[in-house]
Amino acid sequence: MAKEIFYSKTKINNRDYLIASTNLGLAFVGCQNGNMNELNSFFKHDKLGYNDELNKQYIKELREYLEGIRTTFDMQLDVSGTEFQKQVWDQLREIPYGRLSSYSEIANKINRPKAVRAVGTAIGRNPVSIIVPCHRVLAKNGTLGGYRGGLAMKQELLNLEKEVSEHVTV
């Protein structure tokens, strides 16, 4: 059944971002300087409409994160995926800010230790990157692995979290 998806474009740190939501929560965060093709690839059969007002709070939290002010998100999500994908995405949300995990660790935590490749595929289909922090997942050997937004974006997000973590006093 087709959903109604409301998208907005915003500029943060000289980069354009597309985000989209439903009446139930955030449904999509695009890559840096992404375009409508990326959004359409996630919502092929849904009705798209522009709505900055509905997305105002989501944009605010994303901006705060990318500016190093926010380390967690309070927003409601409305993501579509298989049960397996949702298990993976839920596990990603358990990775603390500034920390890293691996594809095999995620597979183990969802009790599917042999499903490392499937975990990687599910991570690649994460519709709300940054908010569900797939950038915090590295290959077992410590290399970056892949990232829907490209490795430069992944490294930039990891650097942001490292810099913010180094300046936080407890």
Q: What are the catalytic residues?
A: 134
CA 49/CA 38 separation, integer angstroms? 15
- Those residues with Cβ within 8 angstroms of residue 106's Cβ, 6 or more apart along the chain or in another chain: 88, 91, 92, 119, 123, 137
CA-wise closest residue to 154 among 131, 136, 139, 128: 136
* E runs forming strands in the chain: 4-12, 15-22, 25-29, 47-50, 101-102, 137-138
Bridge partners (DSSP) of residue 21 are 6, 26
